[in-house]
């Protein structure tokens, strides 16, 4: 590996002492075949390396081709992981990664977005014959998706664990998405009207930091109680169409596909910037948008020419904080990754003896892993 990869990796390890402690508590993992569909970024490397050192076999595929680091894949392949992921892989290659991961016959899954479970349950024979004992799911989008599936194994939801929601969703996404926005565009939000669509924990963090960066911020939220909460918090609450008409920057944070649709593009202001922080890259209908003539004018900014106006798409409509930025700070991710490691300890142990269904990762599982923070 290059010196810079090693130096970056060593620096990250130094900043994540809680993860080191959590890794020391991992049991032996001989016989565990763990298939992962996750963001394959450098902060995850220390965990994967330790899992293999404990005897686990790994199959790594991604939940987002735009967040894969090829040097991470190269490093982990050399250490013995099976991989099917590379930066910006095509949609067909991306989907075939889920098939390949399941053909590899995993005993456990670690997911961000439930793609492996979705792929498995579409084929009833494969689901019936699966050797999977338990799974771990990290995202709100994945948990929503699992609500429509009947997986034949227990799945532990750690997205809704308070420490993950409270730190990562609430504070880190907004901070790091706007940091990426400023560093890539050279713009703050002073004098700009910003609309945040979705007032979950992620949307709240995005709205707070947009205000700190100088924006005049409005909220669009379809849930009545959340929209009232936004009003009580002093935010202007708008309908989607009102927001579309007047915004200079629009951010989606819902976890739902096609929030911004083709009919909205002609209504937008000339020069509007569109950004997404939701898990899927489909919150903005980029397929319709990119039917118009377009070009990348600077890295991470695509200019779309609608003839009478221009629309700017940030980070291809994929998760701005991870695709155009560095994701969570190392000190914050230290806690989040320690929770994830506790989840892996659980699914290879007591968790695998639970009946099929979706469960919140118990507090007794993750609390000791982060207690020394
Ligand atoms: N970028 C990241 O690193 C990161 C980190 C954590 C979570 N996420 C993702 O961000 C998304 C939001 O997460 P969350 O925890 O805030 O979820 P959440 O479900 O609590 O909040 C989403 C909000 O969007 C609202 N919404 C849905 N459809 C809407 C519509 N058509 N118009 C207006 N509002 C609508 C919902 O009512 C809800 O209040 C999810 O996809 C999640 O997976 C991303």
Domains and CATH numbers, the chain: 3-157+329-370 (3.40.50.1480), 170-323 (3.40.50.720)
Per run of 10 residues, the mean pLDDT along the chain (length 373 residues) is 84 95 94 98 97 98 96 97 97 97 98 97 93 97 94 96 92 97 98 98 98 98 98 98 98 96 98 95 96 98 97 97 95 95 97 97 92 65
Task: Give Cβ neighbours of residue 234 (< 8 Å, ≥ 6 apart).
Answer: none
Residue located nearest, by CA, to atom 33 of ligand 1: 221
Tell me what pLDDT residue 2 has. 64
Tell me what pLDDT residue 297 has. 98
Task: Decide whether any atom of ligand 1 lies within 6 Å of the 202 Cβ.
Answer: yes
Strand segments (E) across the chain: 33-38, 57-62, 82-84, 108-111, 134-137, 154-157, 193-197, 216-220, 236-237, 249-252, 273-276, 293-298, 301-305, 310-314, 357-360
User: What Å distances lie between residue 66 and 10, 28, 89, 94, 185, CA to CA?
Assistant: 24, 33, 8, 11, 19
Residue 127 structure tokens: 């689901």
Tell me what pLDDT residue 203 has. 98
* Ligand 1 centroid – CA 35 distance (Å): 26
Tell me what pLDDT residue 370 has. 82
pTM exceeds 0.85, yes or no: yes
Task: Decide whether any atom of ligand 1 lies within 6 Å of the 259 Cβ.
Answer: yes
Task: Decide whether any atom of ligand 1 lies within 6 Å of the 278 Cβ.
Answer: yes
Tell me what pLDDT residue 372 has. 64
């Amino acid at each position: 590996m290059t010196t810079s990869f090693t130096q970056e990796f060593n620096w990250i390890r130094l900043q994540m002492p809680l993860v080191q402690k959590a890794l020391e508590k991992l049991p032996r993992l001989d016989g565990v075949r763990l298939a992962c569909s996750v963001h394959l970024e450098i902060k995850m490397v220390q965990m994967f390396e330790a899992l293999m050192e404990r005897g686990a076999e790994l199959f790594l595929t991604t939940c987002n081709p735009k967040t894969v680091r090829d040097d991470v894949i190269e490093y982990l392949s050399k250490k013995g992981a099976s991989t099917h992921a590379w930066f910006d892989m095509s949609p067909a290659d991306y989907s075939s990664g889920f098939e390949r991961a399941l053909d590899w016959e995993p005993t456990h899954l670690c997911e961000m977005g439930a793609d492996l479970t979705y792929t498995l349950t579409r084929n009833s024979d494969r689901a019936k014959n699966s050797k999977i004992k338990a799974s771990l799911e990290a995202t709100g989008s994945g948990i929503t998706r699992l609500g429509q599936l009947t997986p034949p194994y227990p799945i532990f939801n750690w997205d809704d664990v308070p420490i993950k929601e409270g730190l990562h969703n609430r504070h880190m996404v907004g901070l790091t998405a706007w940091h990426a926005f400023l560093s890539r565009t050279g713009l703050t939000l002073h004098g700009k009207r910003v609309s945040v669509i979705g007032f979950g924990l992620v949307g709240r963090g995005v709205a707070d930091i947009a205000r700190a960066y100088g924006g005049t911020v409005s909220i669009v939220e379809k849930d009545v109680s959340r929209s009232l909460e936004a009003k009580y918090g002093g935010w202007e609450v708008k309908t989607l169409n009102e927001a579309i008409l007047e915004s200079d920057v629009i951010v989606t944070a819902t976890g739902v596909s096609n929030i911004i649709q083709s009919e909205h593009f002609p209504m937008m202001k000339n020069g509007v910037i569109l950004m997404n922080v939701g898990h899927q890259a489909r919150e903005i209908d980029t397929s319709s948008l990119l039917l118009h003539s377009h070009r990348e004018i600077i890295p991470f900014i695509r200019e779309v020419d609608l003839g009478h106006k221009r629309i700017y798409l940030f980070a291809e409509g994929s998760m701005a904080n991870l695709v155009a930025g560095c994701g969570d700070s190392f000190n914050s991710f230290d806690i989040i990754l320690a929770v994830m490691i506790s989840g892996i300890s659980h699914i290879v142990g007591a968790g695998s003896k639970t009946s099929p269904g979706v469960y919140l990762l118990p507090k007794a599982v993750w609390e000791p892993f982060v207690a020394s923070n």
